[in-house]
Amino acid sequence: MGIHMHLIAHHVGRLVEVTLASPITMDEVDLFIRDNLAVLQHIPGKFVGAANLLKAHVLPQDVADRMIQLLSGNAARVERSAMLIGDSAVFAMQVERVLHGGNHPNRRAFRSPTELAAWLGEVLTVPERAQLQMFLRKATGNGAS
């Protein structure tokens, strides 16, 4: 088994932290979906998602389509979900397509960790906001990991 290019964590409240890095294959997406469902079954009701996609790059078409299926499938449980993306214009367009295909108004992509934290913070509790700040510091390499 190779190194997994995804990490899903749930430390506090409704906050689910996701890290995805390239290369993302169909097998990787299938593992990601399985792990995602396992984490979500421990959270009653809606969840708030934060995704670090800074090390993810252009997705193969089949992978993008599978991600749209996943996002559509769990849309009813999403309170808000935010993705932190890098500077790639092509990847940003892909992420926007995936978000649009996932058909949920409270999913957004951000290039700024500060803007992402402010937007998700509107619906988070104090402990969830603190955990989000730790996640974003780790994602961007600011502060101790």
Q: Which of 50, 53, 59, 51 is nearest to 23 (CA)?
A: 59
Calculate the CA dihedral of residues 134, 79, 75, 109 and round it to 10 degrees.
-50
Q: pLDDT by residue (tens digit) across 29-64?
A: 899 889 988 999 999 999 999 999 999 888 888 988
What's the CATH number for 6-140? 3.30.750
The pTM of this model reads: 0.89
**How far from 94 is each of 15, 33, 38, 90, CA to CA, in Å?**
24, 19, 26, 6
Q: pLDDT by residue (tens digit) across 93-133?
A: 888 888 887 677 899 999 999 999 999 999 999 999 999 99
Report whether 16 contacts 9 (CB < 8 A): yes
Show me where the domains of the chain are located: 6-140
- State the Cα–Cα distance between residues 95 and 97, nearest whole angstrom: 5
